[in-house]
Amino acid sequence: MVSYKWLFVGEIPLLYEKRRVAKQLKIEVWLDLAWILQNLGLKQLKKKKCSSRGLSYLV
């Protein structure tokens, strides 16, 4: 017998097979960089702003 679970995409509820929901959650956790960094005890580097002084544009 197939069991079902709810998967929410934004505010939209979707009814999927339980094994597909579990697989989707594994993928989302794997893609979630913040969760990985937290568990490894790492910090995300801050992005440096590029100065636009050296850039010129032709209009």
pLDDT score of 58 more than 70: no
- pLDDT tens digit string along 17-54? 888 878 887 877 777 777 777 888 887 777 766 555 66
Distance between CA atoms of residues 33 and 15, nearest Å: 27
Residue 13, in any domain of the structure: yes
pLDDT of residue 57: 61
pTM over 0.75: no
Residue 33, in any domain of the structure: yes
- pLDDT tens digit string along 5-21? 887 878 888 888 888 87
Residue 17, in any domain of the structure: yes
Which range of residues forms the domain containing residue 11? 4-40
Residue 59, in any domain of the structure: no
Of 2, 42, 9, 4, the C-alpha closest to 28 is 9
Distance between CA atoms of residues 50 and 59, nearest Å: 21
Neighbour-count burial for 1-23, b at 16+ CB within 10 Å, e otherwise: eeeeeeeeeeeeeeeeeeeebee
